[in-house]
Amino acid sequence: MKIAPSILSANFNHLYDDVKDLKKLGCDYLHVDVMDGHFVPNISFGTLAYENLKGKLDMIFDVHLMITNPLYYAPIFIKKGADILTFHLEVEQDKDEIIKVIKENGAKAGISIKPKTNVEELVPYLDKIDLVLVMSVEPGFGGQKFMENSLPKIKFLDDYRKKHKLNYLIEVDGGINEKTAKLCKDNGCDIAVCGTYVFKAKDRKKAIEAILNLWFVRL
């Protein structure tokens, strides 16, 4: 399994040093949560949160847009270094057009769903995208409790992927720790987004290894 530490929980006073250490400990992804205060009730940060890290760290920059207008902003975030750009299924924009714009600008395309969204609504897009992000908390704030109703969604996505011979990755975000990561793994998850669990850990090496050692990733 891969871990994508979420910098939403990081201390920006020493962000580069922290992320560099996480890379050494086996984290290949860096998760960036972008919130506009409209799509979700919180405001986070823009491209400055990661663009200065892009040239210094050999990591996959996994940018999650929790915004109402991903169609407009997608090229901007990709230009600044997003390798994977994920938008929400719930936005009121043409999803096929967003996917097209993301790929035309050189990034991999992901779609995320909130906890109350029916996972089957993703089906029309699953053969067009590279990643599905299942939110296991209500998006907008870190440190929330894992919602177990996300597990059947992960299982559905894994079964659908196998049945139709697709290659999208399944990522889960929200309330991830050693226990909940195993539940996600058992249902087919590939990448665990970890914020509080990693950045607030007393022993980050031990916390990361606990998840990395759960299984051999299919990537």
Is 173 a catalytic site residue?
A: yes
Q: Dihedral (C-alpha) 127, 84, 206, 14: value to the nearest 10 degrees? A: -170
Q: Which residues contact 169 (CB under 8 A, 6 or more apart)?
A: 130, 131, 132, 190, 191, 219
Q: How far apart are CA 144 and CA 20, in angstroms?
A: 26
Crossing angle of helices 178-186 and 204-212, in 10° steps, is: 20
Pick the catalytic residue from 33, 62, 130, 190. 33
Q: How far apart are CA 115 and CA 172, in angstroms?
A: 11
What is residue 12's DSSP assignment?
Answer: G
Name 173's bridge partners.
135, 193
Euclidean distance between the first and the last CA atom of the chain, given in angstroms as a whole number: 8
Pick the catalytic residue from 62, 130, 173, 190. 173
Q: How far apart are CA 106 and CA 92, in angstroms?
A: 23
Q: How far apart are CA 94 and CA 18, in angstroms?
A: 38
Is 62 a catalytic site residue?
A: no
Active-site residues, by number, are 33, 173
